[in-house]
Each structure stands twice: as structure tokens, then as C-alpha cells.
Amino acid sequence: MMKTITLDALMDTLNTGTDAILLDVREQDEFDAGHIPQAQLLPLSQIETQATQLNKDNEYIIICKKGGRAQRAGEYLDQLGFNVTVAEQGMDDWTGEVKIES
């Protein structure tokens, strides 16, 4: 069964420091409009072609707008053998720091 994390726990994890890589699976325009500063963009629409760029030795935490795309991305990466944790909610409910790309 795939692991999940609440947004409060994610915020605590990011604030205390983690080796996990935070993947934002929304599209570029959504990411640019506001994302968690530590997040790396990997749109769900590109995950099948980009998964080979990920390292199976890393832990990945996945977030999206509401949770659906993160769940799908997590299931896909989990099937490939990646160590993934999916945020139970998404950026719509995130209350922490947000970086906006101009």
C-alpha cells in the first residue's frame, strides 16, 4: 500500500529538513502560478516519459492541485518500484510558503 502524508506533516517534514524530493505533478502554468519552494516540476502528462530520469534510491513526495493527479502519479511510480509518498490534499489547501514564477 502506498504511503500518504498530510499537508501539516509535509510542512513539518520540509521545515525540519528531508532528503525526500518533492514532486509537483501539475502542469507548468499551474506550477508557475504558485508552488512550494522546494518542489520540482514533473507534470503528470510527462511522467511516463520522464520516470527514467528519477533515481530509485531517492524518496519522492508527490503533490498536485487537489490530490487526484498526485495519487495517479504515485500509483504509477510505485508500480515501477519507486519509494513514493502522496500528499493527501493538494496546493489548493496548502497554507505554507509559495513561490511564484514571473
Cβ contact 92:10 at 8 Å: no
24 found inside a domain: yes
Number of domains, the chain: 1
* Residue 55 falls inside a structural domain: yes
Whether the per-residue pLDDT at 83 is higher than 90: the answer is yes
Give catalytic residues, as residue numbers: 64
Is 99 inside any structural domain? no
Q: What is the CATH number of the domain that holds 41?
A: 3.40.250.10
Per-residue model confidence (pLDDT) at position 72: 97
In-domain check, residue 100: no
In this predicted model, what pLDDT tens digit does every residue of 1-42 receive, in sequence order? Answer: 789 999 999 999 999 999 999 999 999 999 999 999 999 999
Instruction: Name the residue range of residue 41's domain.
Output: 3-93
Residue-wise burial string across 75-96, b where 16 or more C-beta atoms lie within 10 A, e elsewhere? ebbbeeebebbbbbbbbeebee
102 falls in which pLDDT band (50, 70, 90)?
A: confident
Structure-derived torsion over alpha carbons of residues 29, 32, 62, 66, reported in degrees to the nearest 10: -60
Is 101 a member of any domain?
no
d(CA 38, CA 51): 19
